[in-house]
Structure formats: structure tokens, C-alpha cells
A and B are shown apart, each in its own frame.
Chain A
Amino acid sequence: MKKTIAMLLVLVMVFALCGTAAFADEPEGKVFNIYAWNEEFKGFFEKYYTVPEGVTVNWIIVPSDNGAYQDALDAALLNQADAKDDDKVDMFLAEADYILKYVDSDFTQDVTALGVNDFSNAYKYTVQAATDANGVVKGVSFQCCPSALIYRRSIAKDVLGTDDPAEVQAALSDWDKFNAVAADAKAKGYYMTASFAETFRPFSNNCTTPWVDADNNIQIDPQIEAWMAQTDEFIKNGYTLTAGVWDDEKNVQMFKDGKTMCFFGPAWYFNFCMGNAQDPDKGCSGDWAICEGPAAHFWGGTWLLAPAGTDNPTMLADVMNTFINNEPNYGSAFLGGQNDVAVFSEMTDNIVWENHTIYDQLLNEGLQNSLQEYYRGSVDQDTAMENFYLYVNEKYPTIVTPWQSHSKPSRGEANASPLLKSDRNV
């Protein structure tokens, strides 16, 4: 009896050993799953990357509208440990607005350990963005998107007397100058910008504090306050419109009959989103130029991130090494011959990636949406901020806002509401 048991045990051990050995020798997964929100990267991937033999690349493309992409990706990542090898996420794409949510989590892994080490040509901020709080790099930048001040040459000539990028830049190099020029533009019958939120990114990208402090209290950065003050002034004086960044009301300002001098956006913005303006019948192609503007900033950008638990680590590293720093080169006939690539590379050095939180995207959006009602004249500023805080608490129960009834009332406000006293103090 003992003998049989001993034999069995030995057999089990042998099988177990063989099992692990066989597993270690097993080639990588046959299916490489890539999560993305549009076809853009797929195009580059198919053009520049040779897929190893026997591997099928499976694209899971979910549009990012209303957070649908993140919802699908989150569900897959949360299921990563239980998923069959062929269903595991092997690589996913992320944008600047929400990259931190993934980088600062255990769902992504160190790419240097996988063999992605050469960041020599990468811009500093693109590496910072993919680095977690402990300094571990979790992905690489596929496309970085420094954003420029895009101005209408003819209007600049009328307002500033020049359309030369260097001279326009000198005239608009800080916010005081920018605001002063806005008044001049108005005097000549132009708008400075076409949306109340047009200058949001140049301010918010340079914040000196994150959205929440160490105790999870919400804080409004001086840069955000400066944006609010500027926009308030711009709306009151008619320097800008109450339209959102993507609204039709702003878009018509890019056409021939548009009266707006400045837009802010990266290369993809004027190449793809100002499409109507490029239409020779409607638009004013060639009547545009770019310069850095009052503050260095970026908009969008795509990172390739390495999910934990991929069954294709070698191929993942291989893909990342292929695309690291591979920036697409756009043409610039639209800009009247200006060499935009040179301008953008110079600008990128000034971009910083600091003070970001996982809350950035929704908080930036929520603040703009709430304040838009104030700029449209529907509510006063306090009510707009109150609605913003309500929104914040609906999305993030743990962030403490001044409007939460269970937060400690400050001295002056202790008697504001009799209902507060009976409140639980959490």
C-alpha cells in the first residue's frame, strides 16, 4: 500500500515538473488582443509592423464616446486574471486625459522589464505621463500632441499688423499680452477665440497643484482660477463665444466668413477637425499659421500601455520598440507653407506633465460644463460651482467638496443652514 502511494506521489511530482517545464517552453499566445478607440493606430500597425508567424492580431475597437472605450477596457482588465489566454488583453491604447488611471494601477506592468529601454528620442513629458508614482514606466508614447496657437493670418495682419509667426508669437507670448490683443481684436470687429473653453488646456496643463490634495479635498488651482477670470472677462467684453469647443457655433468661425483670430489645437486638430476650413469653397486654406502662444500645452496624444498578465510579452515589447517615438509627419499646405513639424518639436520641450490625477478628465469636463451655464447667463457663478461640486460627488464619492453637507462647515458658514447641525460628521 505504502509503495503504491509513494509511486503515485512520485508520478504526480514528475507530471507536475513536466507540466511546468512544458509550460515554460510553450510559445507565446496565438492571439494578440489590442484595445483601441479608433482605427488610427491600426493603420500604422498594419503598415509598419510585421506580425510573427502563427499569431493573429485581434482588434477590439470601441469608440470613446461617453466613456464607452474605458468601460469596455476596464471590464476586460478586471477580468484579465480569469480570461483564457487567447482572450487576455495584450496591449491597449490610452489618451492623455485618462492615462493615469491605468498607469497608476496594478493592471499595467513595467515595460523596461519586458525589454523596452530606449527612451532617448522620446519627449520628457511623454515618458512622465506613462510613469507611475513609484517611477515605473508602464508604456510608450506612440503619438505626442503638442498643441499650438492656430491663428488666421489675415486677421492677425489686420489686428497686429503682421502675420509672421515669430512676430505674432512675440505679441502673444503671455496671457497679459493675449488679453490686451483680445481688446484690439474686438475693436476691429473680431473675436479673439470662438469658445469659452478654448484657452482651458493652455491653463490647465500648467497647473501647480493636482485636482485633489493629500486628504482628498478638491482644490481649484491658481491656473484654473486664472482661466475662469480670463473667460469671465472675455465673455463680458464679447471677446469670445459661449459655445463649447466642439459646437457648430464655434466651427462656423473657421470658415471664410469667420471672425475669429485664434484657435488652440495640435496637428490633428487643424488637419482633421478644421476640415471644413480646408474646403476651398467654404474655408480659407492657407490663411492660417501656428505659434506656441502664451503657454505650452498639449491636447490628446496616444500611448501604448502594457497590461499585466499578457500572454504575449515578447511580441508586446517588440511592438512597443517598433512604434516608440514614431511620430507621423503631417503636411502643412493648410498653414500657408509653414513647417509645422519643426515648430511642434521645439514646443514639445516646454511641455510639463505634473500634478495629474485619475480624476482629471471628468473634473475638467464637469467644470467646463457647469461654468458654461454661468457664461451663458443661466446661473450665477456660485450656483455653477455648486453644480460642479454636485457632479464631482456623483462621480467620485470620496472627493471632499465644499458643497458636501457632511464636510466640516467653515466658521463663517456654520449657521448657513440649520439642517447642517443635525448632520453626521463623516
Chain B
Amino acid sequence: MNEKQLRRNQKGVSYSKWGYLFILPFFLAYFIFNFAPQVLTIYNSFFENYREGLKQVGPNFVGFGNYVKLFTPDKTGTINILKYTGNTLALWLLGAVPQILIALLLAIFFTSYRLNIKGQQFFKTVIYMPNLIMASAFSMLFFTLFSNVGPVNQLIQAWGWSDVPIDFFAYKGTVRGLISTMNFLMWFGNTTILLMAGIMGIDQDLFEAANLDGASSVQTFFRITLPLLMPILVYTVITAMIGGLQMFDVPQVLTKGKGMPDRTSMTLVMYLNNYLGGSKNYGMSGAISVIIFIVTGILSLFVFRTLNKKD
């Protein structure tokens, strides 16, 4: 007892309680608004709980029944949730890969003391601009632009490229292309700014030293910029992926919730929304949420491991 007291006295005054006090509001908010709903979602996913008209069915405990239903193949042998997972990943990759490459390139241009681009503030603002528009407004704009009687089709016909309007929403490639383009446009500015911050955090002496040793730009990029940028890049890729797996607003509004054609642009969250809208099927949508959570966890771990590999 005495020893303990002694040890405590030796340590001097502890200010750590203030630290805990200051971070308390965040943790409280997190527990109430994030953690509790998350646990409830998992809990709900084990119940049959929906509405038919005004009649409430359940909640009845069904164990893993909802999960079994999700992974049961339909008559053609398709397991639909896998199809929508594939759609989501395809849509994300189509937008994210060019997004990160272009953002990286732009970040290097903007931070290069050799190029010393003028009017950086202006460009930074402009490339960030699309992110300020609401995704749903942006999607409606694209829907109108590319509709059968929209300006794009009018131009195509005026220039004589095609006699009949091109139905952009009838083909998998064009719909996915449009969704990816929109996501790319909306997010590359944000990524550029994050990566610029990362590059500017690298000690400038290293670039100068490399320059003096006669390293080419490509060598500088692969030997200095990229390795030292890795922590930020990993962060960017993982946050982009979490956002990508939860992709909803752009495809939902662009395809009016249909995920056309043939449900090839239906993402996981759109699928979840199908269950939630109207019938309030908390059981099934809870199960889909849990699956999204698990998929996100696994993929994040994978990305983290591969990109953070120590040489």
C-alpha cells in the first residue's frame, strides 16, 4: 500500500485526466450515434422484421436466416449479393484508379519547384469545385445531358455521328462509364489536395539532394516521393474505398434506383435501399449492412497490408 502511494507521488502531478475529459465528447457521440446503431444493426439482422402495407411482420428471431436468403442462388444460379458486390467494386475501381493516378500527377506538378506553376490557388479551387455540388444534383444534370433528347445526343446528331439518338442508359458500359466519370470528377480534386499536403510534408532537402546527384524526375518520383508518400496514399486509398463501397447517391439518382441495365449498376447500398424503401425490411437490410461492413474490413486490411509492406 505504502509502496504504491510512494510510486504515485514520485510520478508527480498527472494531467492525463484532462486529456481524457477533452476527448470524452467525441467518444460519447461515437457511442451514441455510431457504435450503438452499429450493434443494433447487427442485432436486427437476425430478425425477420418488415411491413406489408400497414401490417407489421415480426420482429421474429430467425438466426442466420436473412444471411442464408442473401446467399441463396436464384433460379439461374446467380447469387445476387455477389453480383452487386462485383458491381460496386467495378464501379469504384473504374473511378478510383484514374482518380488516384491523375491526382498523383497533378499533386506532383503543383508541388514541383521546377515547374513552379502560377495560379495554384485558382486551379486548386477549380478542381475541388465539383465536390461542392450535391451528388444528386450532379447526377440529375448528367441524366438530362445524356438523355435521348438531351444536349449530348443533339450534338451527336447535329454533327452527323449518328442518325438516331444513342441510348446511353441501355448499355452496361456507358452507364458504368458515366457513374465512374462523375465519381472521378467529384473526388479527384479532394485527392489531389490530400496528396499535395503529403508531398509538401516531405523534406525538400531530399528532392534537392536527388537533383544534385543527377536523378531524373521519374527516379525522384519512384525512389523518393512515392515511398515517403505511402502513409498518405494508403489513407487516401482506404478512405476512397470505404466511400466507394458505400456508393449510393450517384448511381441511385442517375438510374432512378433501377441500377439499369439488367441491374449491372446496382450497388450494395442501392440493394439495401430496395429492402428499406416501402417495406421497411430492417432484417434484410441489416444483414446487407453487416456484409458491407465485413467486406470493407477485409478489403481495408488487404490494402493496408499490401501498400504498407516493409521492403
Partner of B262, one of A67, A387, A402: A387
**Stretch in B69-77, B184-192, B209-217 touching the partner:** B69-77
A405 within 8 A of B: yes
Quick check: A67 and B277 within 8 Å, CB to CB? yes
B53 within 8 A of A: yes
Q: How far is the CA of A358 from the CA of B281 in the complex (A)?
A: 17
Q: Categorize the interface residue count of chain A.
A: 35 or more
- Chain A residue numbers with a CB within 8 Å of B52 are 358, 396-398
Quick check: B73 and A405 within 8 Å, CB to CB? yes
Q: How far is the CA of A242 from the CA of B169 in the complex (A)?
A: 11
- Chain B residue numbers with a CB within 8 Å of A26 are none
Task: Using A373-B262, A391-B274 as known contacts, say yes or no to A101 and B72 having CB atoms under 8 A apart.
Answer: no
User: Scoring B residues 163 to 184 as 1 if CB is less than 8 Å from chain A, else 0, what string do you get?
Assistant: 0000101111000000000000
A17 within 8 A of B: no
Task: Using A105-B54, A362-B278 as known contacts, say yes or no to A378 and B260 having CB atoms under 8 A apart.
Answer: yes
**Stretch in A38-46, A50-58, A153-161, A245-253 touching the partner:** A245-253
- Chain A residue numbers with a CB within 8 Å of B271 are 394
B275 within 8 A of A: yes
Quick check: A105 and B170 within 8 Å, CB to CB? no
Task: Using A243-B148, A390-B74, A420-B75 as known contacts, say yes or no to A395 and B171 having CB atoms under 8 A apart.
Answer: no
Closest to A247 in B: B147
A419 within 8 A of B: yes
Quick check: B261 and A77 within 8 Å, CB to CB? no
Distance in Å: Cβ of A391 to nearest Cβ of chain B = 7
- Chain A residue numbers with a CB within 8 Å of B77 are 417, 419
Quick check: B262 and A379 within 8 Å, CB to CB? yes
Q: How far is the CA of A403 from the CA of B57 in the complex (A)?
A: 23
Closest to B175 in A: A378
A102 within 8 A of B: yes
B149 within 8 A of A: yes
Partner of A369, one of B57, B72, B258: B258
Q: How far is the CA of A46 from the CA of B29 in the complex (A)?
A: 46
- Chain A residue numbers with a CB within 8 Å of B260 are 373, 378
Quick check: B279 and A248 within 8 Å, CB to CB? no
B300 within 8 A of A: no
Closest to B55 in A: A105
Quick check: A383 and B53 within 8 Å, CB to CB? no
- Chain B residue numbers with a CB within 8 Å of A387 are 262-263
A377 within 8 A of B: yes
Quick check: A417 and B76 within 8 Å, CB to CB? yes
Partner of B167, one of A242, A396, A398, A405: A242
- Chain A residue numbers with a CB within 8 Å of B73 are 405, 417, 419
Partner of A248, one of B74, B144, B169: B144
Task: Using A66-B277, A101-B53 as known contacts, say yes or no to A423 and B262 having CB atoms under 8 A apart.
Answer: no
Quick check: A395 and B261 within 8 Å, CB to CB? no
> Which residues of A from 392 to 426 have beta carbons under 8 Å from B?
394-398, 402-406, 409, 413, 416-417, 419-420, 423
B50 within 8 A of A: yes
A24 within 8 A of B: no
Quick check: B275 and A394 within 8 Å, CB to CB? yes
Q: How far is the CA of A378 from the CA of B76 in the complex (A)?
A: 18
Quick check: B274 and A395 within 8 Å, CB to CB? yes
> Which residues of B from 271 to 311 have beta carbons under 8 Å from A?
271, 274-275, 277-279, 281, 284
Task: Using A252-B149, A394-B275, A397-B50 as known contacts, say yes or no to A405 and B261 having CB atoms under 8 A apart.
Answer: no
Q: Categorize the interface residue count of chain B.
A: 35 or more
B80 within 8 A of A: yes
Closest to A379 in B: B262
Closest to A67 in B: B278
Task: Using A369-B258, A390-B74, A417-B73 as known contacts, say yes or no to A378 and B171 having CB atoms under 8 A apart.
Answer: yes
Q: How far is the CA of A398 from the CA of B170 in the complex (A)?
A: 31
Quick check: B279 and A397 within 8 Å, CB to CB? yes
- Chain B residue numbers with a CB within 8 Å of A66 are 277
Task: Using A362-B278, A397-B281 as known contacts, say yes or no to A416 and B75 having CB atoms under 8 A apart.
Answer: yes
Quick check: A386 and B76 within 8 Å, CB to CB? yes
User: Scoring A residues 323 to 343 as 1 if CB is less than 8 Å from chain B, else 0, what string do you get?
Assistant: 000000000000000000000
Quick check: A378 and B261 within 8 Å, CB to CB? yes
Closest to B276 in A: A394
Quick check: A405 and B258 within 8 Å, CB to CB? no
Q: How far is the CA of A373 from the CA of B262 in the complex (A)?
A: 7
> Which residues of A from 374 to 390 have beta carbons under 8 Å from B?
376-379, 383, 386-387, 390
Q: How far is the CA of A405 from the CA of B171 in the complex (A)?
A: 28
Q: How far is the CA of A376 from the CA of B261 in the complex (A)?
A: 9
Task: Using A405-B74, A420-B75 as known contacts, say yes or no to A107 and B170 having CB atoms under 8 A apart.
Answer: no
Distance in Å: Cβ of A156 to nearest Cβ of chain B = 24
Quick check: A249 and B262 within 8 Å, CB to CB? no
A176 within 8 A of B: no
Q: How far is the CA of A402 from the CA of B76 in the complex (A)?
A: 12
> Which residues of A from 54 to 93 have beta carbons under 8 Å from B?
66-67, 70, 74, 77-78
Q: How far is the CA of A379 from the CA of B175 in the complex (A)?
A: 14
Task: Using A105-B53, A405-B73 as known contacts, say yes or no to A378 and B277 having CB atoms under 8 A apart.
Answer: no
- Chain B residue numbers with a CB within 8 Å of A242 are 148, 167
Q: How far is the CA of A249 from the CA of B50 in the complex (A)?
A: 37
> Which residues of A from 283 to 332 have beta carbons under 8 Å from B?
none
Name 27 A/B residue pairs within 8 A (Cβ), A-sorted. A70-B278, A74-B54, A78-B56, A243-B148, A247-B147, A248-B149, A249-B147, A249-B148, A358-B53, A373-B262, A376-B167, A376-B261, A377-B170, A383-B262, A386-B76, A387-B263, A394-B271, A394-B274, A395-B278, A397-B50, A397-B281, A405-B73, A405-B74, A405-B75, A406-B72, A416-B75, A417-B75
Q: Could you list 7 further interchain pairs (A-B, Cβ under 8 angstroms) beyond the known A102-B54, A420-B75?
A: A78-B54, A247-B148, A373-B262, A395-B279, A397-B281, A398-B52, A417-B75
